[in-house]
Amino acid sequence: MSDIEVVGKNGDVKMYRISNYSLNIIKKMVKNSNNPIVTITSTIRTPMEQAEIMYDNIITNGLQKQRDTYKQPGQRMLDVYETQKKAGKSKEEIIQT
């Protein structure tokens, strides 16, 4: 399966977080679908990384879009954003919360 290429989208995906076991499964799936390449758009994130991604998505796409996207516990994180934003907190303070 060395002819199968697995890449990270825009070079910002932390590919080192994907185990060889998982990569081999992905390669098998891609090979069976007759595709020479697969693009990974996201991997596991730390809680802090997830909070920052969610914050940025709220700013980019709006709070309602994020409410439509996330189930619990994501909704609770969005509640925290709303409360902290109304209190005048900065991006860093909101993410740290």
- In this structure, the answer to whether residues 59 and 19 fall within a common structural domain is no
Which residue spans within the chain are E strands per DSSP? 5-8, 37-40
At 92 the pLDDT is 96
- Domain of 61 in residue numbering reads as 47-96
Q: Do residues 16 and 53 both lie within one domain?
A: no
- Tell me which residue of 63, 54, 67 sits closest to 86, measured CA to CA: 63
Distances (CA, A) of 53 to 35, 37, 50, 58: 29, 26, 5, 9
What stretches of 4-46 show up as alpha helix (H) in DSSP?
20-32
Distance CA 59, CA 81 (A): 11
Q: Name the average pLDDT for the chain.
A: 89
Mean pLDDT of 41-69: 93
pLDDT (tens digit per residue) in 4-18:
677 777 777 888 888
Query: Residues 16, 51: one domain?
Result: no
